[in-house]
Amino acid sequence: MPINRKEVSRTIVIKRPKDLSEEEYDILKDEIGDYVVAAILDKLGDGESPVEGEEFKDLTEKYAKREKKGKTKPNLELTGDMLRSLEYVPTDRGIKVGIFDSSQVDKAYGHNTGFKGHPNEDKLKKYKRQFIPETKQDFDGDIERGIDAIIEDFIDAYQD
């Protein structure tokens, strides 16, 4: 579940429900992946972190005036390229959600870690805006509940 300079991602283990075929299990992974990506964007659009217990600091007025037409609510969208590259990939036991595009990983790493390793880390760390959970963290409760609801509905549908 790495947050490093090569990828910023979180693995979500999805236990294969019994009675589901391999093909159905793959569909379930896609459903959850599609959901989690949109749920992260949904939270970010509200200026909230999708990571449990994390909060986003407002943009400085100076920055907001220069780059965001005065809006101080942070949504991690400037050109849109980083969040556009947010995606999921299926794995053997679930999915991995995050930023894998090498042209966007540095930005994502900086936001998620508070610019760890940056020459101006001390000044920049207050602008940490984490949107991918570390190994010991969870997604926000709404997202976790959403994942559970999808699994529940999926099993119901395939048992009918």
Applying CB under 8 A, does 74 fall inside the site for other proteins?
no
**Of residues 42-61, those binding other proteins (CB under 8 A):** 42, 44-46
Cα distance between residue 151 and residue 145, in whole Å: 10
Binding mask 101-130 for other proteins (x = CB under 8 A): ------------------------------
Residues 9/99, Cβ–Cβ less than 8 Å: yes
Cα distance between residue 82 and residue 131, in whole Å: 12
Q: Give the end-to-end CA distance of the chain in Å, rounded to a whole number.
A: 35
Q: How far is the CB of 16 from other proteins (least distance, A)?
A: 19
Cα distance between residue 117 and residue 112, in whole Å: 12
- Site residues (vs other proteins, CB under 8 A): 31, 34-35, 38-39, 41-42, 44-46, 68-71, 75, 77-80, 83-84, 145-146, 149-150, 153
